[in-house]
Amino acid sequence: VNLTQTPPVIKAVDFDKHLYELKKKERKNLTKKRKEGGGAISDRPLKEFKFRAGIDDHDLRRKTANMCRYLERGHAIRVTLTARKH
C-alpha cells in the first residue's frame, strides 16, 4: 500500500481471510508462550467464587475444593466475600 505514489497503489484483500490469518498467528504465539512456560495464568479465563456469611460447611468445602482444582490448572481466581446488612 502506497498512497503517496501517483497513481495511489492499494492492495485488495479478503477481510475474512485477513482476520483468519491474524487469529492463526495469535494462536501460534500463545502455544509458543505455553511451551516456554510463560503466560499460563493470563491466557486462561478468570474464575470467580462468591461466599456469603453463613455458608454451609459442605458448600464451603465444595467451593474450596473447586478453587484448588482451578489453581492447579493455572487459572486466575477471584474470591468475593459478601455480608448481609441487618
pLDDT value of position 80: 92
pLDDT at 18 over 80: yes
Kindly give the residue spans of alpha helices, DSSP state H, lying in 2-56.
15-36
pLDDT at 56 over 60: yes
Q: Which residue has the higher pLDDT, 36 or 48?
A: 48
Mean pLDDT of 35-58: 76
pLDDT value of position 69: 93
Contact 72, 65 (CB under 8 A): no
pLDDT at 40 over 60: no
Gap between the Cα atoms of 5 and 9, Å rounded: 7
Q: Which residue has the higher pLDDT, 2 or 30?
A: 30
* pTM of the predicted model as reported, rounded to 2 decimal places: 0.47
pLDDT value of position 83: 85
Q: All 3 cell numbers of residue 72?
A: 492447579
